[in-house]
Amino acid sequence: MTRIAVYPGSFDPITYGHLDLIERGVVLADSLIVAIATNPEKRTLFTVEERVELIRRALEGRPAAGRVRVDAFGGLLVDYARANGATLILRGLRAVSDFEYEFQMALMNRHLEPGIETVFMTTSAKHSFLSSRLVKEVASLGGSVDGMVPPPVIEALAGKFPRSRKPAARGPR
């Protein structure tokens, strides 16, 4: 039996924290679907199509890439997971403050679909401060997001925020 996991989120934009969870989470299943949640009421910087493309480009050349599929969905996550044969939902926790909301969602999802388990993974310490919201804020104010997001996202942010800085050239270390 093939074990499929779903890693849902808005990924607006994808960060190195998200990529860390993808690379670590893919070992829990035979395949992982990075599922972009669409919500017409939520304002996003990037369109769904742009986010799909940015995630695909960010995954290029990474070990997990062959076992990851990028998709978008609307509606209930458990309905999407069930329709795709998934038995796991992967969720990331950056801080204790994330836990209460995520725990509540996991319990609701279990109530709606007892056959799908939620697995929590903590982010790596070096990425624990990252959020898509903060990345967008830094870029919009002209700051560098080098080291927070992959190069395709840096380029895309520069297109949205002309003031955002390109990564500084680094010399030998």
pLDDT digits (tens, 9 = 90+) for 27-73: 999 999 999 999 888 899 999 999 999 999 999 999 888 999 999 99
Identify the three-state secondary structure at position 71: strand
Q: How many percent of the chain have pLDDT more than 70?
A: 94
- Backbone φ, ψ for residue 155 (5° rounding): -60, -45
pTM of the model: 0.90
Nearest to 8 by CA among 36, 27, 32: 36
Residue 93 CA to its chain's centroid (Å):
12
pLDDT digits (tens, 9 = 90+) for 124-137: 889 888 899 999 99
Q: How many CB atoms lie within 10 A of CB 147?
A: 11
Please report which residue ranges of the chain form alpha helices under DSSP H: 16-25, 48-59, 77-83, 96-112, 132-140, 151-160
Catalytic residues: 18, 42, 94, 132
Angle at 27 between CA 90 and CA 15, to 5 degrees: 55
